Structure 1
Amino acid sequence: MATIKHGANGGFKGKAGSVIGSSWKGIDYIKGLSKKRTKPFSEEQKIQQERFATITKFLMPIAPILKLGFGQKNADAMTPANVALQANMDTAVTGVYPLFELDYSKILISSGSFVGGGAMTASVAAGTLSIDWDTALNSLYGSKADDQVVILLHQPTINEFMTVPTPPTRADGTVDIVIPTHFLGGKGHVWIFFADRKGKKVSRSSYLGELDLV
């Protein structure tokens, strides 16, 4: 049963006959009930579904990071996860159906015009990931010493991610992160981006490369 909250001319929530009413971010929606599909998917549809599944598998576990990294993009119409999916599906998925793979160097975990960290480096030694960045401030872009630095490490063999619970600041210029023991022995991919303390200004993420986790 549907519930009408704002009179006969308002939106409604719930099922009413063959339609379902709902709302998101103050926008009312009405959609028809889904019907059982009888027509087989075309080859093109199967390819698109597999591309979608490939990038979604990577993005879903890092939803909290995407909320910050893409939270200012099309915020009134799309969720950050959907914006990230749209930004990555056509560029980061490579290979030939059905054997799609990810080009990690092209994956974006944030998108924006905020100033980044200049010349940045990442290295691993004795089970520690070390990352350095430029601490110089840019008055034109309004960067601050207390801007947060978000770092993501992905170990694809075990399909796990690691980040710093409390992000370092732009002024720190460097951070050492102890890598969990079960990450070691494989390869790791590293990304970094910068955001102001309110999360309103975000830089485009930078891929810092594939590293031997030793």
Structure 2
Amino acid sequence: MGTIRKGANGGFSGKAGSVIGASWKSIDYIRGLSKKSNKPATEEQLIQQARFYTIAKFIMPIAPFVQVGFSQINANTMTPTNAALQANIKTAVVGTYPNFVLDYAKVQISQGSLQPGGTVKAEVATGMLMISWTNKAIAIQNGQLDDLVYILLYHPELDEFLTAPEPPTRGLGTVDIELPEHFLGGKGQLWLFFADRKNKRISRTNYLGELDLV
């Protein structure tokens, strides 16, 4: 049963006959009930489903990252997670059906106009991931010393992610992250992006490459 909000002229939530009422970001909308189909999926549909699954299984576990990284992209029409899925399915999913894979160099966990950290470097030694970035040219970078640095390390073989316990700030210029023992001996994919304290200005994603985790 649907529930009318704000009187007879307001929106409603729930099911009423063949329609469903709902609200997203204070916008009331109505959609029809989905119809079940007995038709088998076409090859084109199967290909699209496989492409979507390939990127979705990567994006969904890192939802807190893309909630920040895509917070300013089409914010009035879609969620940050959906924006991230849409952006990545077009460029980061490669290969041929059914063997789709991710091109890690093209994965985006953020989009925006804030300048990233200039010369960004990363290396691994004795179980420590060490990352550095430029914090001198703030005026050129159009950033602030208290911008947060969001770091994401992915271990494909384990299908696990790692980040700093707390996002460091741009002004620090460097951060060391201790790697868990079970990460060692494998290879990791590394990305980072910058965001101001209010998450209103976001940088594009920096891909730092594949690292030997030693």
Contact 1:115 1:138 in 2 (8 A): no
Match of 2:120 in 1: 120
1:48-87 alignment to 2 at 5 Å?
Answer: 48-87=48-87
Q: Does structure 1 conserve the Cα–Cα contact (< 8 Å) formed by 2:123 and 2:211? A: yes
CA shift digits 1:71-112 (9 cap, x unpaired): 011111100000000110011011110010010000000000
Contact 1:137/1:145 (8 A) holds in 2: no
Q: Deviations over 1:7-43 (max 9, x none)?
A: 3332100010111100000111111112211111111
Q: Distance in 2 between matches of 1:90 and 1:84?
A: 10
Unaligned 5+ segments in structure 2 are none
Structure 1: unaligned runs, 5 residues or longer: none
Find the aligned partners of 2:123 and 2:113 in 1 and give their Cα distance. 26
Q: What is the identity, as a one-letter code, of the residue corresponding to 2:134?
A: D
> Letter of the aligned partner of 1:156 in structure 2?
P
Matched residue, 2:31: 31
What secondary structure is seen at the aligned counterpart in 1 of 2:20? strand
1:174 CA drift (Å): 0.9
- Per-residue CA deviations over 1:38-80 (Å, capped at 9, x if unaligned) read 1111111110010000000000000001011000111111000
Would the aligned equivalents of 2:189 and 2:209 in 1 still touch at CA under 8 Å? yes
RMSD: 1.1
Which residue of the partner structure matches residue 210 of structure 1? 210
Secondary structure of 2:84's counterpart equals helix
- 2:133 pairs with 1:133: yes
Q: Distance in 2 between matches of 1:213 and 1:105?
A: 18
Q: Measure the CA separation in 1 of the matches of 2:74 and 2:96.
A: 31
- May I ask how many residue pairs the two structures share in their alignment? 214
Query: Partner of 2:155 in structure 1?
Result: 155
Q: Which amino acid aligns with 1:202?
A: I
- Separation of aligned partners in 2, 1:189 and 1:141: 25
The separation in 2 between residues aligned to 1:103 and 1:142, in whole angstroms, is 30
CA contact (8 A) 2:13 2:20 kept: yes
3-state SS of paired residue (1:139): helix
Sequence identity (%) = 62
